[in-house]
């Protein structure tokens, strides 16, 4: 999941209409892609705010339509199922916060980038819980939304790996570091601790991540062990 992937449902920030349009144009012809995207974004943002402040992580379509101040029929046209709405809403939320963090990521590195993401998760706990719960759809090959989530996750992994490659290139991490393996290790820490934080009361995820990554990075800088030479093939299989 990363801002490297941009859906056609989201106009760019450089688009003047995206900056000046404050209300959805519900009367625009359906073949107007920009207006279509604005309506979908408006509904998604209303859903996000409702999830943040409401009583449930899964509000019904009627509540979302009321929050967005749109006709329920229009909402149904754009998002015929809860899965379609939550996929767009969660990814819009996630990409928005990632975009802010990625502005400085090349300067601070992969570890600091993930620390910033943990802090962002802590600041928006209900949306983070929804993100984790919806990602399980990506594990079910029969679910129509699975390819979307799997693609977003693969892009997120590539972002972390790219940052590690930049870390090595700039000397922030040791030259011998394998960014591919390091990305797997870092994400295992980030995701494992994040899940623990959702299920266990009192765990300071950021402190635990910093402790674990400091130990991990000491391993990255350690000289690799010299493998012993085989004894004349005696132990060859």
Range of the domain at 164: 104-221
* Location of structure tokens 């892009």: 155
Assign residue 155 the CATH number of its domain.
1.10.357
Q: Which residues does 49 contact at the CB level (< 8 Å), separation at least 6?
A: 67
Judge if 137 and 214 occupy the same domain: yes
In a domain, 227, yes or no: no
Judge if 126 and 211 occupy the same domain: yes
Judge if 22 and 64 occupy the same domain: yes
d(CA 152, CA 39): 22
Judge if 117 and 217 occupy the same domain: yes
Length of the chain: 237
In a domain, 92, yes or no: no
Domain count, the chain: 2
In a domain, 65, yes or no: yes
Judge if 117 and 56 occupy the same domain: no
d(CA 196, CA 2): 23
Tell me the whole-structure pTM to 2 decimals.
Answer: 0.78
In a domain, 232, yes or no: no
Judge if 120 and 69 occupy the same domain: no
Q: Which residues does 93 contact at the CB level (< 8 Å), separation at least 6?
A: 48, 124, 127, 131
d(CA 117, CA 170): 22
What averages of pLDDT result for each successive group of 10 residues across the chain (237 residues)? Answer: 39 37 46 86 95 91 94 94 91 92 95 96 93 89 90 94 96 95 96 93 95 92 58 49
In a domain, 229, yes or no: no
In a domain, 91, yes or no: no
In a domain, 95, yes or no: no
Judge if 115 and 182 occupy the same domain: yes
Judge if 69 and 112 occupy the same domain: no
Judge if 75 and 109 occupy the same domain: no
Structure-token pair, residue 68: 């967005």
């Amino acid at each position: 999941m990363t801002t490297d992937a941009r859906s056609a449902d989201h106009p760019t920030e450089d688009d003047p209409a995206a900056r000046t349009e404050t209300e959805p144009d519900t009367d625009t012809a359906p073949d107007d892609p920009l207006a279509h995207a604005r309506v979908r974004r408006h509904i998604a943002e209303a859903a996000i705010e409702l999830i943040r402040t409401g009583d449930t992580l899964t509000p019904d379509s009627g509540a979302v339509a009321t929050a967005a101040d749109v006709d329920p029929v229009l909402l149904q046209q754009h998002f015929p199922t809860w899965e379609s709405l939550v996929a767009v809403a969660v990814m819009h939320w996630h990409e928005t916060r990632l975009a802010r963090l990625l502005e400085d990521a090349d300067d601070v590195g992969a570890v600091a980038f993930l620390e910033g993401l943990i802090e962002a998760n802590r600041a928006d706990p209900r949306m983070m819980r929804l993100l984790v719960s919806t990602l399980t759809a990506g594990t079910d090959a029969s679910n129509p939304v699975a390819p979307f989530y799997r693609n977003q996750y693969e892009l997120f992994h590539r972002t972390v790996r790219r940052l590690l490659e930049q870390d090595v290139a700039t000397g922030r991490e040791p030259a011998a570091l394998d960014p591919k393996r390091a990305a797997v290790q870092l994400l295992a820490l980030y995701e494992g601790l994040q899940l623990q934080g959702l299920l266990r009361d009192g765990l300071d995820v950021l402190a635990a991540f910093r402790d674990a990554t400091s130990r991990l990075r000491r391993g990255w800088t350690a000289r690799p062990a010299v493998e012993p030479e085989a004894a004349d093939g005696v132990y060859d299989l």
